[in-house]
A and B are shown apart, each in its own frame.
Chain A
Amino acid sequence: MKIALFATCIVDAMYPRTARATVAILERLGHEVVFPSGQACCGQMHVNSGYFKEAHAVVANHVRAFDADDYDVAVAPSGSCVASVKHQHVQVARRCGDAALEARAAVVGAKTYELSQLLTDVLGVENAAEQLGSYFPHQVTYHPSCHGMRLLKLEDRQSNLLKSVGGIEMVELEQADQCCGFGGTFSMKNADVSTAMMEDKIANIASTGAQLCTGGDASCLMHIGGGLSRQGSPVRTLHFAEILASTLESPIDIDGHVQGQGVSR
């Protein structure tokens, strides 16, 4: 299968390892990965901040980059960005009166998948240890991000994949379904409420005793990881794609304060 990678802006610029891990997993399964070079961002920050006019250009760019027949499906290592591509893009086009873009955005949205969705529903991965060689001998807790959980209805796809990684020990997170408080520009506009939500999330993570918190959205993990770092906690955050990409032969190292900092191969 020919798979177009949508890296997402935050992973492209801040967490390239997450995108490289995504590529590694898909290539390991024997698929061809392409990277449409025109891609930039899903535009969710603009939409969710009310800047629909500005979002129009960003959405148009995404649709232009992925509006091609030369790939079978598109994938992104983010529930939130995929939800935006699937649900928000047509709405932005409609609100801006761009019927042509609306139609093309619907096509792109329909063939775009979140990583665990693609692996589970399309590529038939049920056991990461057996099918991907995933090996990660660490204690890990898992935060399911809101948009993957509620907009994409990912249910336990991510956690099932994680549980099937060799050597891993998953620890249940209390109140896992509670938002971490990121919310895009909410974290700046309503910084105090966002922080209060984050502190409760961090306290729940700490009480698991795990040294790592994983999830499917780099933005939420940056928020949680940034808070852990500020509090001087030894706990790190890590995208689940990197855990799936880790093998016995080439394990990923865990080091450094904030996700993206020290986890290198």
Chain B
Amino acid sequence: MSSTYLGMPSLPVFGTGNLNATESFPQAAKRELKNTQLRANLAHATHTIRDKRENAVAELPDWEEMRDAGSAIKNATMANLPALLEAFETNFTARGGIIHWARDAQEANEIVTALIKETGETEVVKVKSMATAEIGLNEYLQEQGIAAFETDLAELIVQLDHDKPSHILVPAIHKNRNQIRDIFLREMEEVDPGLSNEPARLAEAARRHLRKKFLSAKVAISGANFGLADTGTLTVVESEGNGRMCLTLPDTLITVMGIEKLLPSWRDLEVFMQLLPRSSTGERMNPYTSLWTGVTPGDGPQNVHLVLLDNGRTAALADQMGRTALNCIRCSACMNVCPVYERTGGHAYGSTYPGPIGAILSPLMTGIKSEENNSLPYASSLCGACFDACPVKINIPEILVHLRGEDVDSQRAKVKVPTQMDLMMKASEWAFSDGSHINLLEKGLPIGKLAAGRAKVIKKLPGIAAGWTQSRDIPAPPSQSFRQWWVKEHQSPEPRRNPAKEEDQL
């Protein structure tokens, strides 16, 4: 069948770049779990941030109302995103900024590279940014002969170590201070060879190292926490002040921002400036908030660009059950409270976005069939701690389950031999869809009891059930089910007698 292009808009483009798990989560997790240093570092760090967040949140009497407000504002934004993007573009442009639209990672990288090349520079300084990590900008620039220097302390550590971030807020959360000192001694030029592992000394070493870059850089690259549609203002919320340096000193400022980062109005910041610091660092207020609207003649960068990035966000928005994942403000509270993340660390998730939010956001942006991303929605016991911690009330467990359904359905579409899980689900569908079916099966309980033997436990099961018995025994089943006992032996008590004493022996 031939098809004719009728001018209809194409389907949403799925995201590309660093959004994929390249090996299945259970496999990656198995490896990471063996790293005892990593587990110790993570347990210490996540519990520290967790406690700070809890205290910061507990002191606000209207925290729940604030979460409701944050959620409502973001839902309204997503429902009206095309119009808000146009409003933002109009306002940003009117103030001298230049907007570029990027459909995917490749387009965004090409736009940023061309803008840097126009300046003739080969070095840029960077403000910590998830969007540029997502599109793999640093790697791309390197291929193009441009060196990008991370200026956030933790990003700097990771970059110097030729490693990958493992957390969206604390990219070097998997390193302790001894490891950081060793990285600095090994990789930093002109570092004091007597450098100690004291945080203040480490920060000082980083400051000295970065100061030279700040003062010489002509081009800076940033992300943005929020874009305010009614004024065309961009916002960076940070702790260290490196962002302020990058956003004010260079001549050219190029910002890469996901299209979902908009807020309808300046006033909405009042909600998010309370939600974000308390949820992310457990602080009442973050030390530095930078806001800029286009170009201010004679003050700050005179060439101000913004790359608005889709890269799978429209695809996520098209998913009715999953779209609230776009409400994420990248606070990282969900990963700090996640018992799975706490033990595996961020690298196990493959994608730039780890933890519970990453387990939904990555497959939503790339599509469930991309590489090993269909293993991510299963990386959760569905304990629900992430939902409780989320400042914009993203129901992460519900979306995880929704995406598991998407995965199962996409597997169904393939012609294949049923998996053990398929067979288990099919058999239990039969067993659990009629009381008489389960009753029939329960007549076999004495066989299980016999199989358990005198030890009264089952220690080894075959197939996928071996996952259970690798660390857990199963008790011997009882000789009869509850329903069999009920039919045969239960007698409703006579009035006024204590029925508990009427119960029969097991």
Residues of A within 8 A of B (CB): 7, 9, 11-17, 19-20, 23-25, 27-28, 30, 32-33, 35-41, 43, 45-52, 54-55, 57-58, 60-61, 65, 91, 95, 133, 146-147, 150-151, 177-179, 181-199, 222-223, 225-227, 229-230, 245, 247, 249-250, 256-262, 264-265
From B174-182, B212-220, B404-412, the one touching the partner chain is B404-412
User: CB of B471 within 8 A of chain A?
Assistant: yes
CB distance from B418 to the nearest CB of A (A): 12
Contacts of B408 in A (CB 8 A): 49-52
Contacts of A261 in B (CB 8 A): 456-457, 475-476
Contact of B438 among A41, A57, A150, A259 (CB under 8 A): A41
Question: Can you sample 23 A-B contacts with CB below 8 Å?
Answer: A7-B482, A16-B480, A24-B500, A27-B493, A30-B495, A33-B492, A36-B435, A40-B432, A40-B438, A47-B401, A50-B405, A51-B408, A52-B405, A95-B405, A146-B382, A146-B385, A150-B387, A179-B385, A192-B33, A195-B470, A230-B472, A245-B500, A250-B501
Known: A13-B445, A27-B492, A192-B29. A48 touches B404 (CB 8 A): yes
**A16: nearest residue on chain B (CB-CB)?**
B482
The 6 lowest CB-CB distance pairs between A and B, nearest first, are A183-B381, A50-B404, A226-B472, A191-B467, A179-B383, A188-B467
Contact of A146 among B384, B432, B474 (CB under 8 A): B384
User: CB of B227 within 8 A of chain A?
Assistant: no
Please indicate which of the listed interface residues B471, B481, B503 has the most CB atoms of chain A within 10 Å of its own CB: B471
Q: Is the interface of B mostly helix, strand, loop or mixed?
A: helix
Contact of A48 among B401, B457, B474 (CB under 8 A): B401
Q: Are B383 and A223 in contact (CB under 8 A)?
A: no
Q: Are A247 and B382 in contact (CB under 8 A)?
A: no
Contact of A40 among B387, B431, B476 (CB under 8 A): B431
| 10 additional contacts (CB under 8 A) given A151-B384, A177-B385, A192-B29 | A13-B441, A19-B482, A50-B401, A50-B408, A51-B408, A57-B433, A194-B467, A195-B471, A230-B473, A258-B457
Assembled-state Cα–Cα distance A87/B228 (Å): 36
> B27-70: which have CB < 8 Å to A?
29-30, 33, 39
Known: A195-B471, A250-B501. A188 touches B464 (CB 8 A): yes
User: CB of B340 within 8 A of chain A?
Assistant: yes
Residues of B within 8 A of A (CB): 25-26, 29-30, 33, 39, 339-340, 343-344, 377-385, 387-388, 398, 401, 403-409, 421, 425-426, 428-429, 431-435, 437-438, 441-442, 445, 455-457, 459, 464-465, 467-468, 470-478, 480-483, 485-487, 490, 492-493, 495, 498-501, 503, 505-506
Assembled-state Cα–Cα distance A1/B468 (Å): 40
Contacts of A223 in B (CB 8 A): 472
Assembled-state Cα–Cα distance A194/B405 (Å): 21
**B406: nearest residue on chain A (CB-CB)?**
A50
Contacts of A12 in B (CB 8 A): 438, 442, 481-483
**A91: nearest residue on chain B (CB-CB)?**
B398
**A54: nearest residue on chain B (CB-CB)?**
B429
Contacts of A50 in B (CB 8 A): 377, 401, 403-409
Assembled-state Cα–Cα distance A39/B433 (Å): 8
Assembled-state Cα–Cα distance A61/B279 (Å): 42
CB distance from B348 to the nearest CB of A (A): 9
Assembled-state Cα–Cα distance A188/B435 (Å): 26
Known: A27-B499, A58-B433, A65-B435. A150 touches B384 (CB 8 A): yes
Contacts of B468 in A (CB 8 A): 187-188, 191, 226
Contacts of A41 in B (CB 8 A): 428, 431-432, 438
Q: Are A150 and B381 in contact (CB under 8 A)?
A: no
Q: Are A13 and B477 in contact (CB under 8 A)?
A: yes
Q: Are B382 and A186 in contact (CB under 8 A)?
A: yes
Contacts of B476 in A (CB 8 A): 261
Contact of B378 among A25, A91, A189, A249 (CB under 8 A): A189
Q: Are A40 and B433 in contact (CB under 8 A)?
A: yes
Contacts of A222 in B (CB 8 A): 474-475
**A37: nearest residue on chain B (CB-CB)?**
B435
Q: Are B404 and A188 in contact (CB under 8 A)?
A: no
Q: Are A150 and B385 in contact (CB under 8 A)?
A: yes
Q: Are A13 and B438 in contact (CB under 8 A)?
A: yes
Q: Is the interface of A mostly helix, strand, loop or mixed?
A: helix
Contacts of A13 in B (CB 8 A): 438, 441-442, 445, 477, 481-482
Contacts of A195 in B (CB 8 A): 470-472
Assembled-state Cα–Cα distance A96/B442 (Å): 29
Contact of A192 among B26, B404, B431, B433 (CB under 8 A): B26
Q: Are B435 and A229 in contact (CB under 8 A)?
A: no
Contacts of B435 in A (CB 8 A): 36-40, 61, 65
**A183: nearest residue on chain B (CB-CB)?**
B381
Please indicate which of the listed interface residues A184, A194, A249 has the most CB atoms of chain B within 10 Å of its own CB: A194
Known: A28-B499, A196-B33, A250-B500. A17 touches B25 (CB 8 A): no
CB distance from A135 to the nearest CB of B (A): 11
Assembled-state Cα–Cα distance A257/B29 (Å): 30
CB distance from A150 to the nearest CB of B (A): 4
**A194: nearest residue on chain B (CB-CB)?**
B381
Q: Are B470 and A191 in contact (CB under 8 A)?
A: yes
Q: Are B429 and A58 in contact (CB under 8 A)?
A: yes
**A19: nearest residue on chain B (CB-CB)?**
B482
**B501: nearest residue on chain A (CB-CB)?**
A250
CB distance from A32 to the nearest CB of B (A): 7
**B437: nearest residue on chain A (CB-CB)?**
A40
Assembled-state Cα–Cα distance A147/B155 (Å): 37
Known: A41-B438, A181-B339, A193-B344. A20 touches B503 (CB 8 A): yes
Assembled-state Cα–Cα distance A9/B483 (Å): 10
Assembled-state Cα–Cα distance A33/B493 (Å): 10
Q: Are B383 and A150 in contact (CB under 8 A)?
A: yes
Assembled-state Cα–Cα distance A68/B373 (Å): 43
Q: Are B485 and A20 in contact (CB under 8 A)?
A: yes
Assembled-state Cα–Cα distance A35/B487 (Å): 9
Assembled-state Cα–Cα distance A151/B384 (Å): 8
CB distance from A25 to the nearest CB of B (A): 8
Please indicate which of the listed interface residues B26, B404, B475 has the most CB atoms of chain A within 10 Å of its own CB: B475
Contact of B492 among A32, A177, A178 (CB under 8 A): A32
Q: Are A181 and B457 in contact (CB under 8 A)?
A: no
Assembled-state Cα–Cα distance A25/B498 (Å): 10
CB distance from A259 to the nearest CB of B (A): 7
Q: Are B464 and A58 in contact (CB under 8 A)?
A: no
Assembled-state Cα–Cα distance A184/B475 (Å): 17
